[in-house]
Amino acid sequence: MKEIVEHIARSLVDNPDAVKVIETETDDAIVLRLYTAPEDVGKVIGKQGRVAKSIRMVLKLATAPDGRKYTLEIE
């Protein structure tokens, strides 16, 4: 799912090369931390978080092989 978040983020920002996603794990979730160029942060969050919410909605469809869910954090 890391690739998908990267793909979506790259399609939305001005500096696609600066997009990076780092995967970390907790007991009940896989956390995807999304990094972008500072001036692009707003683009992946959106007005009232609408973009971030939409990305999370898409992530909700996915489950890791072991049943854990994905969560998205924007850094």
Q: Using the rule CB under 8 A, give the single segment among 1-9, 25-33, 64-72 that binds other proteins.
A: 1-9
27 versus 61: smaller Cβ distance to other proteins: 61
61 binds other proteins (CB under 8 A): yes
43: its two tokens: 């683009």
- Segment 16-55, which members bind other proteins (CB under 8 A)? 50-51, 53-55
Q: How far is the CB of 7 from other proteins (least distance, A)?
A: 5
Are 9 and 36 in contact by the 8 Å Cβ rule? The answer is yes
Which residues touch 16 (CB under 8 Å, ≥6 apart)?
10
27 versus 65: smaller Cβ distance to other proteins: 65
Angle, helix 50-59 to helix 2-12, in steps of 10 degrees: 150
